[in-house]
Every structure is written in C-alpha cells, then in structure tokens.
Amino acid sequence: MITRSEVRRAQEAAARLLEAAGIVLTDAERAGMEVAEFGLGELERTGLELVVYVNTDRYCAKELVLLPGQTCPEHRHPPVEGEPGKMETFRCRWGRVYLYVEGEPTPRPKAAPPAGSEEYYTVFREIELAPGQQYTIGSDTLHWFQAGPEGAVVSEFSSVSRDESDVFTDPRIKRLPGVTEG
C-alpha cells in the first residue's frame, strides 16, 4: 500500500522530469498521473510513474517516468484472448535507462536488481538507452528496466495495453494500485 502523500510526491517528482524533457502535459494529465508501486511498499526502489496518452483496441502510447535509480520489475505481456501479447517500443527522451531482456546475459551489467528482490530477476541482456535511442521488445518477452542516477523519461509506443494481464516474476507483486489515506 502507498499513501496519498507518497503518490503526490512521486507525481511531482515525475512532473519535474517530464518538464526537463520538454514534454508538456495538461493539468488533468499531471493530476491523473499513475503511480505504480507494485504492492512492494518501496516506491523509491521499485515503482513507475505513467501518463497514458491513448489506449485503443489497436495501439497505445504512454510516457514512462522512472525516478533516480527506480526499477520497473521483471514482467512479460502474455497473449490475451487469442491476440499475441503486447509488443512495445521504448524510446528514451531524457536521462538514461538500462533495459534488460531475455538473451545472453551482459557481463558486468550497469544496473542491479533492487536489494532483497534479486531472486525475482532472471534476465540480464542489457540495452542501454540514452535520449534519442530506442528498442522494441517482442511480445511475451521477459524484461525489466531501471533509471540511471538522474532518472529517465521514456516514450512507450505499443499495441493495446492490458496491464491487468501482465505476468510478473515476483509473485508478491500486484500491478493494480492500492492507495491508503495519509
């Protein structure tokens, strides 16, 4: 669980990074920014801030914001109702992001899984993205990603997004938010 004041602080920090990236949001988008804490209660380490621009039955576009060092935990997008799982393209806009996907592990990766959760991270092929660089993740492919020390802003272009179907390696994780007063 996460308190309302934690949500607000994360939204404000993410809004500052989006502003640094030159990305203009409406007031409604800023106020409605999604803060995913994945049910682990360690938002600074494991979490993600999202602005969903559009999610139709054909395509989806979002801005993903990672606070400094923040990690989006390992998951995959499985097929749903006979459609292949979500395919997504990450384009780094600001900061630095370290993306890990299935394949030959990279020796001496630049990021490490959050302390205490190492056992739930199993893929280590590293793709480092600086602003202007992008990578497309095939459907149903395990992946996780972490921001560098300044944080990161990443545009995500994809097929339809069905967050409730995501499969996380860590069985403790809940994708949908729980917020408590505070």
**Member of 45, 93, 96, 143 binding a second copy (CB under 8 A):** 93
| Of the residues 158, 168, 170, 173, which one makes contact with a second copy according to CB under 8 A | 158
* Integer angstrom CA distances of residue 107 from 54, 80, 113: 37, 34, 15
- Distance of CA 46 to CAs 53, 72, 174, Å? 23, 6, 12
Q: Which 40-79 positions form the footprint of a second copy (CB under 8 A)?
A: 53-54, 56, 58-61
User: Toward a second copy, which CB reaches closer, 30 or 169?
Assistant: 30
Q: Does 165 bind a second copy (CB under 8 A)?
A: no
Strands 2-3 and 179-180: parallel
H-run or E-run covering 108: none
User: Least distance in Å: CB of 120 to a second copy?
Assistant: 29
Overall residue count recorded for the chain in this entry: 182
Tell me how far, at minimum, the Cβ of 160 lies from a second copy, in Å: 9
